[in-house]
């Protein structure tokens, strides 16, 4: 089993990860890069592909929950951003 990120390359090809603690770190790093240290919600996907000879093909989309009241540095239209994002993926 291995994993690849669309955003992570090595020698011009997608880097293959077999250490899933490293995958978790890359997810954290890419989230900080896309959303900043405050993890402000952005409508920018981080694409992770997992490959295994024993699992069926499946797509999983991890979306933020719909946020009614913005906190911290979140934009005032966070509700609209999260709602529109969820509806687009549902369709």
Place of tokens 């978790």: 24
Q: What is the pTM of this model?
A: 0.77
What b/e readout covers 13-37, taking b as 16+ CB neighbours within 10 angstroms?
A: eeeebeeeeebeebeeebeeebeee
Place of tokens 């966070």: 78
Domain assignment of residue 62, given as a range: 2-90
CATH code of the domain in which 76 resides: 3.40.50.300
pLDDT digits (tens, 9 = 90+) for 43-53: 888 889 989 98
Instruction: State residue 26's pLDDT score.
Output: 95
pLDDT digits (tens, 9 = 90+) for 53-67: 898 877 778 888 888
* Secondary structure class of 5 (helix, strand, coil): strand
Total number of domains constituting the chain: 1
Instruction: State residue 12's pLDDT score.
Output: 92
How are beta strands 13-17 and 48-51 bridged, if at all?
unpaired
Instruction: State residue 18's pLDDT score.
Output: 94
- Mark the ranges of the chain whose per-residue pLDDT is less than 50: none
Instruction: State residue 75's pLDDT score.
Output: 82
């Amino acid at each position: 089993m291995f994993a690849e990120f669309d955003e992570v390359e090595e020698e011009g090809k997608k880097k293959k990860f077999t250490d899933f603690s490293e995958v978790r770190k890359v997810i954290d790093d890419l989230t900080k890069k896309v959303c900043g240290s405050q993890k402000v919600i952005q409508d920018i996907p981080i694409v992770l592909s997992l490959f295994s000879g024993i699992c069926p093909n499946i797509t999983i989309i991890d979306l933020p929950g719909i946020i009614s009241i913005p906190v911290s540095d979140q934009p005032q239209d966070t509700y609209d951003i999260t709602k529109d994002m969820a509806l687009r993926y549902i369709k």
